[in-house]
Structure 1
């Protein structure tokens, strides 16, 4: 009978989670509960990154397991272990296998629901096993944990939710380790958490350092200093075992991280000395209200730690209660002070984020703070029968004053009068129910649960409704169908390799969705070599993305882009309201230099016949050639001279002057070092612009180079009175089309300011000698790598070298894990061009090249995991799995 009762409350907890999640989804009109013309859950990174990775996940598990190691669909090529470890190792992702690729938007809804059910279940299990609370109250706290503000605000980062699931199980395992010397649940829960998502698990590990002390001193157990140290050392030892067990993934991931965007983070190890304050304590506590969140908070907002008014009331009582030991309160207060200091100071914040300041989604570790707040609330609830009237009145008075204080402040866009009013109502109702709960009654427990459910549902809806950038199902389905139609006839066949570029895109990762080699990528694990290379060549990039939107004719050939797809001039005529609108990411004139192959209603194909291949012969001078920052044309010129090793050394690009520069309602107030101008409006109420006139004396391509200060929130551009599109943001100077096939024409570029003042370097103009370049490329066609066998992690082919001693330049990001054999002799690839690409030395004649990719770190990681398993076995006097001992 007792077991039936337990099962009843387990199922009740699941049912309530299911109902709240679906009610929020219904109110938000998410599929499948919303109308098909409404919303998917795809928004921001979930819609721009993860959905493409989910398609990759399905292909890797069902078609090509080599995608676990390397992919040519990731930008210009890149290792995949880091991407898998950060985005795709969740066991919940197996659910994706049940959905077709065209239904992955729907799969996201079910995946989110399953994770929410798992989160509430794990917390309920934790509370029921550790604190033996009344099951209805345990359900109340479980819902608070599941639908806290962190979950609602950041659930689009769907892979982070795994940490919320594992944390209560890890905490329960730690409790059993400390109090009963039973380590297995702790070891395996922490191991699986690290495998599922190492980044969030790192935050959990930091949290456990302090939380372990709380567990040791919980209930003020009479322990000697020696006993405390012994228990803490046991925690360290078993944490080490757990880390070792996960070594098969952590070691390769660590090596991958060293080559990803973290490798280019400046000053990342100097964060200890950075005591910059990000948010004041008032900023932080402004998040203690229902729905205290808006869209802007994603980019630069304070921590989301709200877990419901019941927890807010109870944590105040926790510190007022005389029945909770002072020693425990001091430890709790010290930990809370550290957590809130971490929200405030940059150095501590970076510590939680692996030494890097997060790009968007600040205070990603706030879920552990929410968890700890709930622990303290549970401890306080256990003492509620001792609460006095004056204590509850003090709490009501304090929280009412708190609400009134933020009501009279108008500093926070996310904190409306309505949200403060809702919060105050729930404060008063919660205080009343909790005070009446001094005399336990099951009806009051259900009232508290119902009250919390209403509050959490309101909180979730208010937070999610602040974001209106959800992808419509019809538009998503239209685009993936269109993308498949575009790529199918031009996708490389077996043992072929070339890249494909489109002037339009829905995401930078759609090549992973549609299975074709591309030249763009957006992800936290992108190789630093790729982003740096794009910066040197004048292509748009940030620390976590590359986007090929403004290539020159030379870079088209360099990156082996065979097919280019553009929108038709009348694409809008064939686009309905349910279709995804196609638009160019940037103005592209020289695409017309390529041969037009085919045209559909909404898009047109161009074919490039001047490819340089995956590898090409270059001069041995490449060993000493270095790129320069913010000199993209100069860097492209250096590459051209390396390829044109028997040429006359004359430049292919020639800088051209502007005929005239006019300032409308602007004055230059400073010229900096001579190339860094400060522009200021003369009349703040009028528009201001810079007009740059130039003449194209030939049909050659002309290119601008725009400084990286140009972004679409600072300036807009017009070329010959037509909108001139450019991609932003970009961290370096960007090369853009100025004209093509316009001999003897005058042009006017107008830069319109969106700010009252603006600082930027000057725009440059260059002409490209197309005729001479075409002759050089024709001569070089026999000097490229001819592929005979191509797979994601293995490439074979031949190259015929003309020089006595030269190099084969390979247009892949430098990665030492590529193993290369030349005529069956192993040779080490050399990093070249500021360590961005790789090259191998070759002598005159024909050579057979074999390239295979396999990271040695996998072997090292497997050895560490086996060592960890052996240590655990040796540490147990009698090692056997006792299911009853560590799972029940």
Structure 2
């Protein structure tokens, strides 16, 4: 063991220093299991942890969810989700951390990725003989704890790319030493399979890296073309090896993110490039840098100094330095020039976390710094003066412009100045063959990179462990009670009046109507928006359901915070379950069970996953910005009504009282402004329900909390705050002859009350239509994610089996064991025309292009295997 440690201490330090530095910080911040906090913040808390819980459930209990799941909104392909979020081999460790321990598992995975990033870079340095001794962990720690890693540790799914990049570069370097393409091809394929998105950026970087590498290793043109040929072949076969993931994923992207591709390019700089200097200062990060900020480039003063010295070292051939300068110019131009920025992000501006590819730029800085330190025998005076001036000028610019960089303060600049001076002194002593120098450089790196991590992450707030663990435990408890009531083949959807994230259904394993992911098919949020739900690019929050939308989507069960709806204003202080919506029309549902925190309701109007409906539903429904009209249109089409029946009737409020508010004259009569801008302005609308039917009010997409606040009888209305379509607020139900006062508080000086209208819901019309649709359900005998089968009895001509399964190319249908063509209803759902009589209808899902991908991957691996065998026989014959 002692001999092993002595022999491999640079590699061991390269792993353990980043691991222990960050573990110490997490413990100091009392992250679970060291305390009451957690690593959950932003997307890690709002998306990824729910996907990780879903990952555990899938591998341990429901493997078909790798392909498809009804936990993804109202149903959707999951292969693209797995490819983007879940194929990291590190995730297997999460199988060991159930329940509240999942946050501890996430911490362990995060720490391992920090450690493995350092180890992989150290391996590159050792195998290419670029560094030795303490220089290896010094450079490896600079890489593992670079600013990009600290800023993006919450984007845990991206960190594998940082681990794999040095290994890919090592495979490229080995091509110049005579290695075959196979090793490079396989590691590239692994990266593409683990996370195709970040690997796309690695592939772009490789296209520039190979040009520099060819210049660096140039011997003659024959060798150059032979190596370049191996690189091209290896790259193409690497992509082919990953085809089993790439082909289905590309199709999935064409239905989701691919529809948001930017087609108009602005040939401009996104900001003054000199501002990037601020990101080379220690601690250059805060929350504001997440949605919009500059590239994260911090790599430490030793690396930055050595990188700058690289271009002046005469021991490095001019050909190599010029090529490196061109690559550097391209990379830094990419960080500020919009067309190149778009190219790196697949022609889509990132939503939050800009300049995601800057990890390859940071790798480039550390890699050239390593090559520079290898060649640097001593820091000559002219080079030292130039380096001092460059570093000093950069820090002086940042110091004099601190007011423009809210993520920095004077202490951070002073620290960077101190670290830079120490780095210059240490480089000046490099000519002295002292064993203390590499150790001192390592110590500087550890202190500086640790300081950057502390200063950066201290500016971020995190979800407490109890907020996650207690909420999840109570949610699972309520969901389990629902599952105990349901039959094995009973399909139902479940929604709630509370929400921690839009992916709660993946956390607690139930079918829902909400979802949030970067690979969400655009068609589903578009439909939900027409239905009157908060939706946008990549998300749905089912927060504004009506009796009809609940019934149509088969939302058979509802979970409500205890006492949420009983009497308007009689809500308790249930802080454990964050409120999402008020839902007075729950009074039309049946209370069937209760937990300490939630009450469970069963919806007697819920439709089956499939049911007999008029073929009129196949006709294109008129698009409308009014969900009231759209919902009425859908019900009339489903029932095949000969005379149009409206579910919603517009009403006038009985009175409207203005307090410090003045109404604009025509044609802006729906626009209101404050009289005194310094005082509160309110409009109070009053009416008294004449029936026990539900009453809803519509609000336009501009009426979020920045514009207005709503309250009913003095109690604040809960409304999900992000929506791009007109939504419907559930105002009252079963409150005949009870006065209702709706108060609108203006949060801006002037507000347009777009689409603000009160509606009465016709329960009689609704009940009649729903009873007709409930009469002929699709009775499932097989209920699995990718296999659904059941019986349905069609009693009328010109009917279809209407489903609320999103139509997708992967679905295949049989009727009475004969394949049939699937129709599409409402531009969203599967519908199957049927003749009169009893039928067995089956649906099976298989991701498009998965079979082709498997074939290409298998064939490529077979070619690789045959070629490897050929090389083995050739070497064996040569040795004999």
1:819 aligns with 2:812: yes
Greater alpha carbon shift after TM alignment, 633-642 vs 682-691: 682-691
Shift of 1:852: 1.2
* In the alignment, structure 1 residue 634 sits paired with structure 2 residue 632: no
Tell me how far 1:567 sits from its aligned partner. 0.9
Alignment of 1:606 onto 2:607: no
Q: Deviations over 1:180-223 (max 9, x none)?
A: 2432221111111111111111110011110111111126x344
Where 2:280 maps in the other structure, the secondary structure is: coil
Residue 306 of structure 1: SS of its match in structure 2?
A: coil
Change in CA separation of 1:631 and 1:369 when aligned onto 2, cut-off 3 Å: same
Tell me if 1:596 matches 2:591: yes
C-alpha distance in structure 1 between counterparts of 2:344 and 2:107, whole Å: 29
Q: In the alignment, which of 362, 368, 372 is matched to residue 370 of structure 1?
A: 362
Contact between 1:479 and 1:580, CA under 8 Å: does it hold in 2? no
Of the three residues 743, 752, 755, the one matched with 1:750 is 743
Shift of 1:499: 1.0
Q: Give 2:439's match in structure 1, choosing from 438, 446, 450.
A: 446
Q: CA deviation at 1:702?
A: 1.4
* Pairwise CA distance, 1:646: 4.1
Partner of 2:690: 697
Q: Which residue of 1 aligns with 2:15?
A: 14
Q: In the alignment, is the contact (CA less than 8 A) between 2:482 and 2:600 conserved in 1?
A: no
Tell me by how many angstroms 1:92 deviates: 1.1
User: CA shift at 1:115, angstroms?
Assistant: 1.4
Match of 1:433 in 2: 426
- In 1: Cα distance, 2:266 partner to 2:357 partner: 19
Find the counterpart in structure 2 of residue 521 from structure 1: 515
Measured in 2, the distance between the counterparts of 1:344 and 1:262 equals 23
2:873 & 2:39 partners in 1: Cα distance? 41
**Matched residue, 1:175:** 173
Alignment of 1:107-506 (within 5 A): 107-218=105-216, 221-224=218-221, 228-263=224-259, 265=260, 268-271=261-264, 273-409=265-401, 410-468=403-461, 470-491=462-483, 492-506=486-500
- Single out whichever of 784-793 and 752-761 deviates more from structure 2: 752-761
So what's the TM-score if we normalise by structure 2? 0.94
SS for the counterpart of 1:616 is: strand
Unaligned runs of 5+ in 2: none
Structure 1 residue 346: Cα displacement: 3.1
Shift of 1:382: 2.2
CA distance in 1, matches of 2:643, 2:154: 56
* Matched-pair contact (CA < 8 Å) for 2:125–2:136: yes
Q: Which residue of 2 aligns with 1:649?
A: 644
CA distance in 2, matches of 1:883, 1:58: 45
Q: 1:595 offset after TM fit, Å?
A: 1.5
- Report 1:505-544 matches (<5 A): 505-544=499-538
The 1:676/1:86 distance shift into structure 2, 3 A limit, reads farther
Gap change, CA 1:218 and 1:98, over 3 Å in 2: same
- TM-aligned CA distance change 1:818 to 1:755, over 3 Å: same
Q: Secondary structure at the match of 2:734?
A: coil
Closer/same/farther in 2, CA of residues 816 and 147 from structure 1, 3 Å limit = same
**Using the alignment, how far apart are the partners of 1:670 and 1:185 within structure 2?**
74
CA displacement, residues 744-783 of structure 1 (integer Å, 9 cap, x when unaligned)? 4554433333334556633122211012211222233212
TM-score by length of 1: 0.93
Please name the residue that 2:31 is paired with: 30
In the superposition, relative to structure 1, how do residues 526 and 493 fare at CA in structure 2: closer, same or farther (>3 Å)? farther
Cα separation, partners in 2 of 1:247 and 1:501, compared to 1, 3 Å: same
Is 1:860 the equivalent of 2:846? no
Would the aligned equivalents of 1:529 and 1:814 in 2 still touch at CA under 8 Å? no
Which of the residues 694, 718, 734 maps onto 1:741?
A: 734
CA distance in 2, matches of 1:448, 1:474: 41
> 8 Å contact 1:487–1:516 — kept in the other structure?
yes
Instruction: Give yes or no for contact 2:292–2:354 (8 Å, CA) kept in 1.
Output: yes
Structure 1: distance between partners of 2:299 and 2:558: 50
CA distance in 2, matches of 1:457, 1:236: 40
Alpha-carbon distance in structure 2 between the residues aligned to 1:568 and 1:883: 74
Which residue matches 1:565? Answer: 559
- In 2, Cα distance between equivalents of 1:19 and 1:601: 41
1:731 Cα deviation after fit: 2.2
SS in 1 for 2:138: helix
Q: 1:582-619 CA deviation, whole Å, 9 max, x = no partner?
A: 23212221111112223443221211111211012222
Alignment check: 8 A CA contact 2:587 2:734 kept: no
Determine if the alignment matches structure 1 residue 810 to structure 2 residue 765. Answer: no
CA separation of 1:771/1:178 partners in 2, compared to 1, >3 Å: closer, same or farther? same
CA distance in 2, matches of 1:182, 1:375: 23
Number of aligned residue pairs: 869
Instruction: State the distance in 2 between where 1:883 and 1:659 align.
Output: 93
Given that 2:10 and 2:136 are in contact with CA atoms closer than 8 Å, whether structure 1 keeps it comes out as: no
**What's the offset of the Cα at 1:84?**
1.0
* Pairwise CA distance, 1:40: 1.4
Aligned Cα root-mean-square deviation (Å): 2.7
Residues 701-759 of structure 1: per-residue CA shift (max 9 Å, x gap): 11122211222233322223221111021122212212222334554433333334556
Contact 1:213/1:232 (<8 A) preserved:
no
Q: Which residue of the partner structure matches residue 832 of structure 2?
A: 840
Among 780, 784, 787, the alignment partner of 1:794 is 787
Give distance in 2, aligned partners of 1:883 and 1:73.
54
- 8 Å CA contact 1:502–1:565 kept in 2: the answer is yes
Identify the range of structure 1 (355-364 vs 10-19) with the bigger mean alpha-carbon deviation. 10-19
Q: Which runs of 5+ in 1 are unaligned?
A: none
The alpha-carbon deviation at position 140 of structure 1 amounts to 0.5
Instruction: Flag the 1:155–1:335 CA change in 2: closer, same or farther, 3 A.
Output: same
1:783 alignment partner, SS class:
coil
Q: Equivalent residue for 1:782?
A: 775
Contact 2:500 2:578 in 1 (8 A): no
Checking the alignment, whether the CA contact within 8 Å between 2:79 and 2:847 is kept in structure 1 is no
Q: Specify the alignment match of 1:727 in structure 2.
A: 720
Q: Sort the Cα spacing of 1:746 and 1:342 in 2 relative to 1 into closer, same or farther, 3 A.
A: farther
Distance in 2 (CA, whole Å) between partners of 1:709 and 1:255 is 34
* Alpha-carbon distance between aligned partners in 2 of 1:246 and 1:870, rounded to the nearest angstrom: 13
Give yes or no for contact 1:676–1:762 (8 Å, CA) kept in 2: no
